[in-house]
Structure 1
Amino acid sequence: MSDSPKSSLPVVKENSEIAISFKLELADGTLVEETQENEPFRFKIGDGTFINNLENLLVGLELGTTAKLTLSPERAFGLSDPNNFQTMDKADFPEEMALEKGHVIGFNTPTGDEIPGTIHQIEGDKVIVDFNHPLADATVIFSAKIEEIFS
């Protein structure tokens, strides 16, 4: 029999369904997203809800644990790729759509998925769209509390 006390708290596993309260912010404190009080976010580890790096950081945490992690761009949403800038014709956009620099628009891919594109520049009848993740190149701070572990 071992002398060291073993915790009896449930632990997040690689395929656990869990509920967390979380906050995602930029290094300068700008809030990106957070859960509302008493409304934890429920998901299954590995289902693609969060980027793998964030999910992997939750694995092994016990119920009730709070983690606060600062992630470099490489560990969070990646670095921007110059090949992800596309030039499109203004005519390709709905007439009623306000095209402004910094505006994020959902684009449908040939496979039926939707990806975000940020208007980078407007030059005459051409629109340059940045298809890098909106948080590419950003250092982010991810704070999460394990509220429930269902499996």
Structure 2
Amino acid sequence: MKAISASSEVLMHFTIKLEDGSVADSTHNAGKPAKLVMGDGSLTENFERCLLGLHEGEQSSFTLAPEDAFGQPNPDNIHYMDRRQFGGDTPAEVGVIIAFSGPQGQEIPGIVTEVSGESVTVDFNHPLAGKTVIFDVEIISVQ
């Protein structure tokens, strides 16, 4: 059986859970495994390091501190916007996730965390920033 190396193509199921057991993301929800090419940037280096050496059919679980997972929240990623910039398709309501256009035209999701008068607070940090996560993997195939 092949082990995962730095250049492997991996087919796997994964679940990312928080310490309280709630599921943040899982390939089981979609009913199909994720395909990953090691080093392609779809997973952080720390997540990839967890996979190195695992074999087809192997299941494993890793607990990652915030620094090793999605990082700590960055105060520079919290923006205050004028309520008039919202409307119709993008309501200014707490908990709403809105995709904004970044400088290179990429979509950047932000979550509305506060609405006060004409000011809307939008947090562009990753939703799992600052959280310890449990990364459960089941390796289906290694190429």
Normalised by the size of structure 1, how large is the TM-score?
0.87
Q: Is 1:15–2:14 an aligned residue pair?
A: no
Give per-residue Cα distances to partners, 1:31-63, cap 9 Å, x unaligned: 111112862111211112122211121112111
Q: Which of 93, 99, 122 is equivalent to 1:106?
A: 99
In structure 2, the residue matched to 1:4 is none
* Structure 1 segments unaligned to the other structure (5+ residues): 1-8
The residue number in structure 2 matching 1:133 is: 126
Aligned to 1:48: 41
**2:56 is matched with which residue?**
63
Q: In 2, distance between residues paired with 1:29 and 1:117?
A: 24
Q: Kindly report the root-mean-square deviation, in angstroms, between the aligned alpha carbons of the 2 structures.
A: 1.5
For this pair of structures, how many residues does the alignment match? 142
2:136 is the counterpart of 1:143: yes
Question: Hey, what's the Cα distance between the residues in 2 that align with 1:15 and 1:113?
Answer: 27
Partner SS for 1:91: helix
Q: Secondary structure at the match of 1:142?
A: strand
The 8 Å contact of residues 90 and 98 in structure 2, kept in 1 or not, is answered as: no
Partner of 1:76: 69
CA drift of 1:102 comes to: 2.2
What does the per-residue CA deviation read over 1:48-92, in whole Å, with 9 as the maximum and x for residues that have no partner? 212221112111211111110111111111111112111111222
Q: CA offset at residue 145 of structure 1?
A: 1.1
What fraction of aligned residue pairs are identical, expressed as a percent?
38
Larger radius of gyration: 1
Partner of 1:87 in structure 2? 80
The equivalent position to 1:119 in structure 2, one of 104, 112, 121, is 112
Corresponding residue SS for 1:137: coil
Normalised TM-score (structure 2): 0.91
User: Which structure shows the higher helix fraction?
Assistant: 2
The Cα of 1:98 is off from its aligned counterpart by 2.6
Question: Could you tell me how far 1:22 is from its partner in structure 2?
Answer: 0.8
Q: 1:17 Cα shift? A: 1.0
Q: How far did 1:128 drift?
A: 0.9
Q: Secondary structure at the match of 2:46?
A: helix
